[in-house]
């Protein structure tokens, strides 16, 4: 058997689950200066199920508006086209998680870790004053889809990857077993889906501290992923153990900011999962 590569794994996955046409069409419309937000709303309105979920997400803790958003046109007008695209992609991520689900990993832990990472990243981006904080929710949500891809294509290896301990972090264990980490598979899949580079480049470098120290976006997702691992492995790691103070400092943040982000994610994760995957929230 030839060694697995992240690109090989992502290629098989991209053939198994293609990016829905509506994601491609919205991206094309957003990149076309002649397209209005109403045009995008009219496209989304053709899918009642998607419209309903987007309205629920727009009224969720991801956005805190003074009044309820009860129509798609209002949602688009308030949060903008790019934010709406990120919500459509978040819903697509939910569908992809279902498609690639595997009984060789703990799916509840997988969902929690993904949503925790997204919420921590969004909160950190907001307080670090990085624009488009909802994009960071999507980055956190998608960062670990590679675990599902490996679980489907190489279940024995996925099981071994999850035999990490207090000394060996999950990403180091993945490197030992696979020669790469799950995030690399995630990034390759996002690139094969032809998503914008700002949605896969940070994921590609998620475990590289030197890159995190040089790039704010990578720093945010680097911290958020480590926080999410600490939150879902209580007793094995603390968030403080996994997050390098230097990376926090590079964002002009401190431990109190990280604590606030973790608290926010802990409080809101269940409500987000209830919207995205009601079965997993039971």
CA 143, 205, 213: angle at the middle one, nearest 5?
120
Q: Residues 203, 229: one domain?
A: yes
Domain count, the chain: 2
Q: Residues 76, 149: one domain?
A: no
pLDDT at 259 over 60: yes
Residue-range definition of the domain harbouring residue 177: 1-17+102-282
The predicted model scores a pTM of: 0.92
**Cβ-based neighbours of 155, under 8 Å, separated by 6 or more:** 102, 104
Q: Residues 177, 156: one domain?
A: yes
Q: Residues 154, 230: one domain?
A: yes
Among 44, 70, 99, which residue terminates a domain?
A: 99
Query: Sign of the CA dihedral 74, 117, 195, 199?
Result: positive
pLDDT score, position 66: 67
**Whole-number percent of the chain with pLDDT over 70:** 98
Among 99, 131, 157, which residue terminates a domain?
A: 99
Ordered alpha helix ranges (H), the chain:
6-16, 21-30, 37-45, 48-58, 72-79, 81-99, 107-127, 133-142, 145-153, 155-161, 170-178, 182-192, 201-204, 209-212, 216-232, 239-242, 245-250, 255-276
pLDDT tens figures, 177-221: 999 999 999 999 999 999 989 889 999 999 999 999 999 999 999
Q: Residues 50, 165: one domain?
A: no
Q: Which CATH number does the domain housing residue 5 bear?
A: 1.10.3210.10
Q: Residues 76, 181: one domain?
A: no
Q: Residues 63, 91: one domain?
A: yes
Q: Residues 145, 91: one domain?
A: no
pLDDT tens figures, 19-53: 889 888 988 988 888 888 888 888 888 888 888 88
Q: Residues 32, 161: one domain?
A: no
Among 99, 124, 155, which residue terminates a domain?
A: 99
Q: Residues 220, 160: one domain?
A: yes
pLDDT at 1 over 50: no
Q: Residues 250, 131: one domain?
A: yes
Tell me which range, 17-26, 220-229, 230-239, 272-281, is most confidently predicted by mean pLDDT. 220-229
Q: Residues 34, 50: one domain?
A: yes
């Amino acid at each position: 058997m030839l060694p697995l590569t992240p690109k090989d794994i992502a290629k098989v996955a991209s053939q198994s689950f293609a990016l829905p046409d509506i994601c491609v069409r919205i991206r094309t419309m957003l990149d076309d200066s002649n397209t209005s937000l109403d045009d995008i709303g009219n496209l989304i309105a053709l899918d009642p199920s998607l419209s309903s979920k987007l309205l629920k997400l727009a009224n969720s803790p991801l956005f805190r508006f003074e009044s309820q958003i009860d129509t798609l046109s209002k949602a688009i007008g308030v949060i903008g086209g790019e934010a709406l695209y990120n919500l459509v992609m978040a819903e697509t991520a939910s569908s992809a998680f279902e498609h690639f689900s595997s009984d060789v990993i703990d799916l509840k832990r997988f969902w929690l870790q993904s949503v925790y990472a997204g919420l921590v990243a969004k909160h950190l981006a907001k307080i670090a004053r990085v624009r488009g904080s909802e994009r960071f929710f999507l980055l956190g949500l998608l960062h670990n889809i590679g675990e599902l891809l490996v679980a489907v294509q190489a279940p024995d290896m996925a099981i071994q990857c999850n035999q990490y301990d207090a000394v060996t972090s999950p990403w180091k264990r993945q490197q030992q077993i696979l020669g790469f980490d799950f995030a690399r598979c995630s990034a390759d899949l996002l690139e094969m889906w032809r998503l914008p580079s700002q949605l896969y480049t940070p994921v590609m470098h998620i475990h590289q501290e030197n890159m995190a120290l040089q790039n704010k976006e990578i720093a945010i997702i680097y911290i958020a992923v480590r926080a999410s691992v600490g939150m879902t492995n209580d007793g094995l790691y603390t968030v403080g153990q996994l997050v390098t103070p230097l990376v926090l400092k590079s964002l002009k943040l401190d431990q109190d900011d990280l604590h606030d982000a973790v608290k926010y994610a802990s409080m809101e994760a269940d409500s987000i999962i209830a919207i995205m995957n009601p079965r997993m929230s039971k």
